[in-house]
Amino acid sequence: MIPNRKGYFGKFGGRFVPETLMSALQYLEKEYMSAKKEKSFRKEMEYYLKEYAGRPTPLFYARNLTKRFGGAKIYLKREDLLHTGAHKINNTIGQLLLALRMKKYRIIAETGAGQHGVATATAAALFGCKCSVYMGEEDIRRQAINVFRMRLLGAQVIPVSSGSKTLKDAINETLRDWVTNINTTHYVLGSVVGPHPYPMMVRDFQSVIGREARRQIIDVEGKLPRCLIACVGGGSNSIGLFYPFYKDKVSFIGVEAGGLGLSSGSHAASLLKGKIGILHGSKSAVLQDNDGQIETTHSVSAGLDYPGVGPEHTYYMNTKRAEYVAVNDREALSGFKMLSEMEGIIPALEPAHAIYYASKIAPKLSKKDSIIVCLSGRGDKDIDIVKEYFKF
Ligand SMILES: *Cc1c(COP(=O)(O)O)cnc(C)c1O
């Protein structure tokens, strides 16, 4: 079973936090483990995922892309069709139900681009909880629409002015708030990162993606796919797709943000270019300099712009269960354009990385094979960024 009882995936993961957070994390773990076994909790979760978020999402056969690339059939797991436009709601609904169970009615979260902040504010509104979202000042400036969205949803957005004024600094502030308000507050972490039990719990909540996809592909193809492709920021949509296929003979490909190129220093490829270290309470691959200072990252897609990655991915890489590659900004934009024009689906820039990589892999495989790409979110949020690249 991974992780083990201390939250380790092989050598990675764990719980590197101040003493004051230990008991809250232990309590969260205990409540989660018992909730997971309860039929009523699972039923409630299923109810909201279906009736509120819009699950199950379709597994769409992308006929035009398949024809263009040649080779394996491309299927898209349509997480972009969920309420709020991305997979993040799978996790925030799960964590809100858990918060209610723990009688913690104040919710805090960190956000980078604002997507996780919006998904948390949405679930908090649904379940009648107070919500505060920490966001770096730089991100507030870049993502004004999402800031407004969170406020419309009744959440308070708290600017963070320390460090690089981006996501990693927002996470630090959220952890600080949590230490101070531990008895009343639940911290909804947005990806498979952070101290145990978050990487395991967020993976479990996101695994609904892979469980559905596995059933759906067997229904239409009568067999398992050859490979799964998903983008990796913190790593939650990818682990969510991969994990239910862990024991199958199916290969996993995680696509990191290559930014301006892996040798440019401006990227967010934590697995390919990082070193093992501790960031935000867990041991995993981290982009850091020789003194252990966290490096600044760059990606055209805000959701991939994070210097760390979930410990389970580092474990999959070390045990060779998954392969990791990088796709740069320019290639991701071409994936974005390709999917928009050829299938009538405008993707978020994050999964556009995965789409691009599918175009490289599909031609190498047989027409009898299939590939599932996780379409983690829709592109509405990225229109302003993309506008600068495409002139009509
Ligand atoms: C946040 C986000 C990601 C990256 O996060 P993961 O935890 O790696 O899934 C990917 N795609 C979309 C659409 C996102 O909003």
Which residue in the list 110, 212, 343, 350 is annotated as catalytic?
110
* Residue 379 Cα to ligand 1 middle (Å): 12
| pLDDT, position 165 | 87
* Residue 19 Cα to ligand 1 middle (Å): 30
| pLDDT, position 302 | 87
Residues contacting ligand 1 via CB (< 6 Å): 86, 88, 115, 191, 231-238, 303-304, 348, 350-351, 376-377
Q: Where are the beta strands (DSSP E) in 260-366?
A: 275-279, 282-286, 322-328
Listed in sequence order, the residues at least 6 apart from 129 whose beta carbon sits closer than 8 Å to its beta carbon are 96, 99, 100, 105, 106, 107
| pLDDT, position 370 | 98
* Residue 81 Cα to ligand 1 middle (Å): 14
Is residue 88 annotated as a catalytic residue, yes or no? yes
* Residue 202 Cα to ligand 1 middle (Å): 13
Is residue 43 annotated as a catalytic residue, yes or no? no
Residue 158 host element (H or E)? strand 156-160
Q: What is the pTM of this model?
A: 0.97
Listed in sequence order, the residues at least 6 apart from 215 whose beta carbon sits closer than 8 Å to its beta carbon are none
Q: What are phi and psi of 12, to 5 degrees?
A: -115, 155
Cα separation, 104 vs 185, in Å, equals: 5
**Ligand 1: which of 82, 88, 189, 228 to mutate, judged by most atoms within 8 Å of the beta carbon?**
88
Asked if 326 and 267 count as a contact pair (C-beta separation under 8 A), the reply is yes
Partners of 253 in the β-ladder: 229, 323
Among protein residues, the one with the nearest Cα to ligand 1's atom 1 is 303
Asked if 199 and 3 count as a contact pair (C-beta separation under 8 A), the reply is yes
Which residue in the list 73, 77, 88, 104 is annotated as catalytic?
88
Is residue 36 annotated as a catalytic residue, yes or no? no
Radius of gyration over alpha carbons of the chain, in Å? Answer: 19
DSSP class of residue 249 equals S
Residues of the chain with pLDDT under 70: 1
